[in-house]
Structure 1
């Protein structure tokens, strides 16, 4: 039996934290990824999702680092993360390597290329058609080693920590090395991305230790890395140049040694996602809170992510690790199928490979739960369904809002399905789920493991709700126009700006209009609702986080104009509107 572990509240950067192989009981909002210890993050954006790959720190007390596979997680909102499991294992997906340290992943030629360290002695490359693998290394040996022309390894040179980079002109480079200021190497990659072009050249950086990483930002090359310990705790520093291979000027520190890292070195990835810059790194927060001794937790690390900001001169502001520093970029749509292994937090569960593809939530016991942050129910859900399996008598899914013991909007009974991978879909009615909430699926039942869950979704009441996207409406006024950020919708900048269409009211009765919107700043944006030319009320959108506001009104049957219009503008705010839903 896997033991549950109680985790104390986390007081550091928004960490994607992974425990030892065992059950977790959590009393804090963060960490947000628990299934595995993972480190050395590298990030890749593809088709609107952010994928983070990292070394999987297998837990075995007294064994040191055990890293022979790569973990992958992804998100499209920076709050809820999907667990894709281990996407590469050096011992089974390569004919020559046994270790897979500190990966770097890039996309080219309609394929995904993963560069990894076979320990500190050589570098391999694995390829996949999907960002979630499986990745396969089909070479018979390393891509880069000490015998590669130009590497010329000095004493103590580490041939690892690859950082792949594709320049604007299409030339790809691989940066690598460690354990000395002049122990950085860079070599060109051929267009096939699985062979090198020419000889490696050398670079130097003050206090360079490892974690070579390259970005090109506004025409400049930013080389970041982990420092050594010659001047205290290791940091993430950076240099800037007009060339990808030479002429770098040291600029300073991006990230000091983060909290709960025991002053160990770090490994970073700097990336842009949906218009924002971020830095991913790791520390030892979870293993510290679990209470592992320092000689054990040094080998059990976890991902962290924070925002990254630039000064007007192109220099990078020093990152301040936060407890909850990332804004949710979009709300979760509960009316589409959501993978159960997508969550912001969990209590007790694990995940495993699913016979229907992907992964499922597994090893569920009484009192376990998963949390999904920022779910937009709009005008309301009528039913809930879940894809489940059980080899025992099953249990119950309690559908709750805002906390594990929050408002109960429904329960879904799960029975015996004659196997942990024999799937069936269970449905139940729900009531009271409207607007935006954090969703908790709490699992209850008897002793032992209860059931597995593959996916879930909600359904609206048939025919009771009509959603209209604001960007499809007619615009009027001086400044009204379509926008793509913070959502696809319409901006209403001043008095008289409006968007409208005709809507057919089937009966003479009470209706409620729900509108999702936001202000452009911390002020409250006010949007009037007009039905057939008569003002029905005002929507108040407080701050930049989108919310759903509503106005109720009575109207007679017939086709009438529905208009959202600014008429109380005082010059301190702009209004953004996403959609409206009409319900009776």
Structure 2
């Protein structure tokens, strides 16, 4: 059953209780569709079903959940979908979709290494008639399928460590072995550092391969975590591919950030990168995220983006109560979680901080009152900085502040004043404690112009 699941410009752009990693965006019939796997909070990678989400290209603030699109077990029968993968009960991992002759083909992989395709007459499914992807008469094995339509040809990429590619035959489930490439790029290719999550797109005369990268020069202590979406380009689809750089890095969205997966797309006149970020201080609980990007299509150059709290939007409305989990950069070991239907930042100790990019304070400078929804575990101080400049300090303790109406009666309103704000600005909340140990939990931020 379809339902509107998100309104407004935030990042993550779907509701905070929806965890969609591995997003592949596609535009069909005036709507942008998000195809991804589905995490369950508290679980590990993915589950046994897909949901498809879409938005009108004229209004990217309003997203629709089209309901279950494919399942690999019967556990979702009460949601109107039964097992559609006859050869496997594995978890459904990263998918992609392509259209041909009025059919929409959903390419998917499972946790047992098998890969398949199902089809539908609509971009949102349900997808049926699932078949395994085969080459040389045998099912292939791997992860992360992606398909590029290039004229009359359909190129299928997949793999971990090496990016494999072959053309699809007319049945859309058989790979032509005479067109097979073992490695367009690989994890051994120096700066290319291919890990997984290939997504092949066209930028002008170039083929652009977007992928999760293992390259760790900037983060030598990261342990090879593929948190970056990098890209490489070639004028020949079979390469050689020239490494061009990083599009987005999700390092800092969670202390345990591990992987990334996504792609780029032009919607009307604006380019975007879709990606994901984990939460809960785990590799999992991954939410769909998006950023605006600058792309030189003629020369196939993509400028690296920073993570924001706005996604499709230009700036956050300061007067809206904003859940802490819309912060885009967390330092010091704190993290966002799901707790009693709320989405706080927890495990806050002295030195932790969270940044929100960006709030829109208007053209004329004025003062703004700010409230923090804090559950204080000991006495401490919240330091508020705007664009790196300290603006205010708010002291709090377990017995101070005004109690709120929230489900957790221990959440207090901690109030302060930010002076002389205008334009777009990054707000950072840092914490200082008087003692060691956990200091507080941050639930929300709310601001209003000071009354004159």
Q: Same fold (TM over 0.5)?
A: yes
1:439-489 deviations in whole A, cap 9, x for unaligned?
A: xxxxxxxxxxxxxxxxxxxxxxxxxxxxxxxxxxxxxxxxxxxxxxxxxxx
TM-superposition CA deviations, 1:168-206 (whole Å, max 9, x none): x3110110000x2xx111011023322222242122242
Distance change >3 Å, CA 307–CA 184, structure 1 → 2: same
Whether 2:64 is the aligned partner of 1:79: answer no
2:273 maps to which of 279, 283, 287: 279
Equivalent in the alignment of 2:240: 247
> Whole-Å Cα distance in 2 between the matches of residues 118 and 68 of structure 1?
9
Measure how far apart 1:97 and its partner are.
Answer: 2.5
Aligned equivalents of 2:284, 2:204: Cα separation in 1: 37
Match among 182, 185, 200 for residue 164 of structure 2 = 185
Q: What is the DSSP-based 3-state SS (H/G/I as helix, E as strand, rest coil) of the residue aligned with 1:127?
A: strand
**Higher Cα radius of gyration:** 1
- Aligned-pair CA distance for 1:138: 3.1
Alignment match of 1:259 (pick from 234, 247, 252): 252
Q: Distance in 1 between matches of 2:100 and 2:175?
A: 15
Query: How far apart in 1 are the matches of 2:22 and 2:86?
Result: 24
- Deviation for aligned residue 1:275: 2.2
1:93 aligns to what?
Answer: 84
Would the aligned equivalents of 1:307 and 1:319 in 2 still touch at CA under 8 Å? yes
How far, CA to CA, are the matches of 2:112 and 2:264 in structure 1? 23
- Is the 1:34–1:346 contact (alpha carbons within 8 Å) kept by the matching residues of 2? no
Alignment of 1:460-471 (within 5 A): none
Q: How far off is 1:258 after superposition?
A: 4.3
Q: CA deviation at 1:345?
A: 11
Q: Secondary structure at the match of 1:56?
A: coil
CA change 1:195–1:346 in 2 (3 A) is: farther
Instruction: Look up the match of 2:133.
Output: 143
Q: Deviations over 1:519-538 (max 9, x none)?
A: xxx9xxxxxxxxxxxxxxxx
Write out aligned runs for 1:375-524 (5 A): none
Residue of structure 2 aligned with 1:223, choices 201, 209, 222: 209
Residue 14 of structure 1 and its aligned partner are, at CA, apart by: 4.3
Which of 284, 288, 301 is 1:299 aligned to?
Answer: 284
Deviations 1:106-163 (A, max 9, x none): 1111011111111261211111111111011432xx20489859x7xxxxxx711001
Q: Which residue of 2 aligns with 1:236?
A: 229
Q: Secondary structure at the match of 1:15?
A: coil
Aligned partner of 1:197 among 176, 180, 190? 176
Relative to structure 1, the CA distance from residue 68 to residue 147 in structure 2 (aligned partners, 3 Å threshold; closer, same or farther) is farther
| Structure 1 runs, 4 residues or longer, greater than 4 Å off | 144-149, 344-347
Q: Does 1:15 align with 2:5?
A: no
Cα-to-partner distance string for 1:219-276 (whole Å, 9 max, x where unaligned): 2100110012654353111111011122211111111234314331100121111222
User: Separation in 2 of the partners of 1:64 and 1:36?
Assistant: 14
Q: Look up the SS of the partner of 1:172 in the other structure.
A: strand
**How many angstroms apart in 2 are the aligned matches of 1:148 and 1:303?**
34
TM-score by length of 1: 0.45
SS in 1 for 2:295: coil
> How many residues are paired up?
285
Give the 3 Å change call, closer, same or farther, for CA 120–86 of structure 1 in structure 2.
Answer: same
TM-score, structure 2 as length reference:
0.58
SS of the residue 2:21 aligns to = strand
Shift of 1:72: 1.1
Secondary structure at the residue paired with 1:64?
coil
Match for residue 50 of structure 2? 70
Counterpart secondary structure, 1:166: strand
Structure ranking higher on relative contact order (CA contacts 8 Å, 6+ apart): 2
Q: Structure 1 144/34 Cα, relative in aligned 2: closer, same or farther at 3 Å?
A: farther
Given candidates 156, 163, 169, the residue that maps to 2:146 is: 163
Q: Specify every segment of 5 or more residues in structure 2 that has no aligned partner in the other structure, as ranges.
A: 1-8, 74-82, 187-191, 220-224, 315-319, 324-340, 342-422, 424-452
